[in-house]
Chain A
Amino acid sequence: MNLLGAVKFPPIENVIEWPAWLFEDSTYFAFNKIAFIHFLGLVIPMAVFLLGARGSGLVPRGFRTVSEGIVTFVDEQIAKPGIGHGREPYLPLLVSFFLFIFIGNITEVIPFFQMPANARMAGPLVLALVAWGMFISVGVRHNGPGYFKEVLFPPGVPKALYLLVTPIEFLSTFLVRPFSHAVRLFANMLAGHILLITFGVLCISVWSASALVLIQIGTFPGLVAFTAFEVGVSLIQAFVFTILAAVYIGGALHPAH
Chain B
Amino acid sequence: MINLLAIVVAAEEEAPPNPVIPVMNEIVWAAIFFFALWAMMKFVLLPPILRAMEERSSTIQSGKDAADAATSALGSARRDHEATLAEARSEANAILAGARAAADERRAALQAEADTEIAEMRRSAQADIDQARAEALSGMRGDVSSLAVGAAQIVLGRDLDAGNQQSVIDQALSAD
Interface residues of A, Cβ cutoff 8 Å to B: 11-13, 15-17, 20, 27-32, 34-35, 38-39, 41-42, 45-46, 49-50, 52-53, 55-56, 58, 60, 64, 67-68, 71-72, 91-93, 95-96, 99-100, 117, 120-123, 125-127, 130, 183, 186, 190
Determine the chain B residues whose CB is within 8 A of the CB of A42 once the complex forms: 33-34, 36-37, 40
Q: Nearest chain B CB to A113's CB is how many angstroms away? A: 15
Is the Cβ of B19 less than 8 Å from the Cβ of A121?
yes
Ordered by A's residue number, 7 sampled pairs between the chains whose C-beta atoms are within 8 Å are A12-B17, A29-B28, A35-B29, A53-B48, A55-B52, A64-B52, A100-B33
Is the Cβ of B26 less than 8 Å from the Cβ of A34?
yes
Task: Determine if B154 is an interface residue (Cβ-Cβ < 8 Å).
Answer: no
Q: Give the contact-size bracket for chain B.
A: 20 to 34
In terms of DSSP, what is the predominant structure of the interface of chain B? helix
**CB-CB under 8 A for A45 and B45, given A100-B37, A121-B21:** yes
**CB-CB under 8 A for A27 and B19, given A41-B37, A64-B52, A67-B49:** no
Determine the chain B residues whose CB is within 8 A of the CB of A17 once the complex forms: 17
| Complex CA distance for A128 and B46, rounded to whole angstroms | 22
Interface residues of B, Cβ cutoff 8 Å to A: 16-17, 19-31, 33-34, 36-38, 40-42, 44-46, 48-50, 52-53, 56, 59
| Complex CA distance for A35 and B46, rounded to whole angstroms | 24
Determine the chain B residues whose CB is within 8 A of the CB of A126 once the complex forms: 27, 30-31, 34
**CB-CB under 8 A for A50 and B29, given A13-B17, A68-B53, A96-B37:** no
Q: Nearest chain A CB to B57's CB is how many angstroms away? A: 11
With beta carbons under 8 angstroms apart, the residue of B22, B44, B50, B59 that contacts A125 is B22
| Complex CA distance for A227 and B25, rounded to whole angstroms | 29
Q: Nearest chain A CB to B154's CB is how many angstroms away? A: 131
Determine the chain A residues whose CB is within 8 A of the CB of B23 once the complex forms: 120, 122
With beta carbons under 8 angstroms apart, the residue of A16, A49, A127 that contacts B45 is A49
Q: Which residue of A lies closest to B53 (CB)?
A: A68
Q: Which residue of B lies closest to A95 (CB)?
A: B41
Determine the chain B residues whose CB is within 8 A of the CB of A38 once the complex forms: 26, 29-30, 33-34
Determine the chain A residues whose CB is within 8 A of the CB of B21 once the complex forms: 121
Q: Nearest chain B CB to A101's CB is how many angstroms away? A: 10
Is the Cβ of A91 less than 8 Å from the Cβ of B46?
yes
Q: Which residue of B lies closest to A104 (CB)?
A: B30
